Every structure is written in structure tokens, then in C-alpha cells.
Amino acid sequence: MSQIMDKRDCLFEGLGVRISDSAFIHMRVFHIDAYTLCDMLLSPIDCPKGKRTGKAFRKTSRRICSRRNDTTYNIILDEYPLKEEKLWSVSHLEPI
């Protein structure tokens, strides 16, 4: 079920984007499609300081926040090696 987005449609910091199975489940729950997620990645905001939710799972994970429909979302990204290139893999998405 995971999906690698076409680089013409979705890049984050110059790398392609892969959406994990777990992120797809969250996207369905919160009614976010892949292109909306890509738009959210391109419009990060400062993550709220007082919130303890959304801590990255691994030390190498990257946490960004973005807003959609007046809700702040926590997005966790991990580097994902694919053959000769690296991608960002969205591993988690949740409102905070």
C-alpha cells in the first residue's frame, strides 16, 4: 500500500516522498489525500512548543508541523533508501 509520489508532483527539501502504510491509514482517517499532504510538506510551520505529542520515533526522524483547515498536524519523516537514491518517507501524521 505504501506509495512513492512522482517527483514532478511532490518533493520535500529536494528529495522524493514516499508515504508509508501507517501514514496512509492516518490520511484516510483525517480525509487527507496524497497531493494535500505534499502541499502540507511545502508549507511547514513552527511546531507548538507546549505540545508533547508527535515526538519523533527515531533520533534520525524529522518532525515538521503544518496547518490544514484550522488544525495543526504533526508529520514525521524518515530517510528511506531506494536503490541509488534517498527519499523522505512520511511515517506518521496526526492532528495536535
Domain range enclosing 60:
3-95
DSSP 54-77: T--SSTT-EEEEEEETTEEEEEEE
Outline where DSSP puts E strands in the chain. Answer: 3-4, 11-12, 15-19, 44-45, 62-68, 71-82, 85-95
pLDDT per residue over 13-26, tens digit each? 999 999 999 999 99
Domains in the chain, number: 1
Q: Which residue type is seen at 3?
A: Q
The structure's pTM equals 0.83
pLDDT per residue over 42-72, tens digit each? 999 998 876 565 555 667 789 999 999 999 9
Residues 38 and 75 sit within 8 Å (Cβ to Cβ): no
Per-residue confidence (pLDDT) for residue 85, from 0 to 100: 86
Query: Please, how many CA atoms are within 13 Å of residue 59, restricted to the half-sphere of its CB?
Result: 0
